[in-house]
Amino acid sequence: MKRKIKLILTNDRLNKNTKGSIINVSKGYAFNYLIPRGDAIILTKSKMKHIKMFEDIQKKKQEISAKNTIAITQKIQKIGKICLYKKIGENNLIFGSVTEKDILQWIKIHTNLNINKGQINIPEIKTVGKTSANIQIKQNVSEKIQINVLPTNI
């Protein structure tokens, strides 16, 4: 008659199980191999309670992150388009180019959103006209925004 024991893994190495997962193994395997190597510890009521607490905290963080993503997406959708004014030369070419920094400044001034420069993906803009940019909010969430480059009267 084999008796099993419940353990909490402390490393990711064992049979594709992740750190913190609970496994059932035989006592010999647990006390002769896993526990002495430091790959696992014995599951107790207090440790189980501790694991549940961390799982609850992780769920709350994910919910807050999802709400923030929705709020940022809605603010970017309300923008619709960005109008940037640049000095022009011959053939409607602008001096310099439109960069992520220009778009970040416009968004910061008008919506008070903090977006990283790496989240904005724009093509090279060197002429007056309309183009579109892609703002990556999360890994699978992105929004398109229209950019209008207009000449200044200076």
The pLDDT-based confidence of 117 (bands split at 50, 70, 90) is confident
* pTM higher than the cut 0.85: no
Q: What is the pLDDT of residues 47-72, one digit of tens each?
A: 989 889 988 999 999 999 999 989 88
User: Given this model, what pLDDT does residue 58 score?
Assistant: 94
User: Given this model, what pLDDT does residue 95 score?
Assistant: 86
Smallest CA-to-CA distance from 152 within 92, 82, 80 is with: 92
What is the residue extent of each domain of the chain?
Answer: 4-65, 67-151
| Domain at 67-151, CATH from 3.90.1150.10, 3.40.640.10, 3.10.430.100, 3.30.70.1880 | 3.10.430.100
Average pLDDT, rounded, for the chain: 88
How many angstroms separate the CA atoms of 29 and 7, rounded?
A: 11
| pLDDT exceeds cutoff 80 at 12 | no
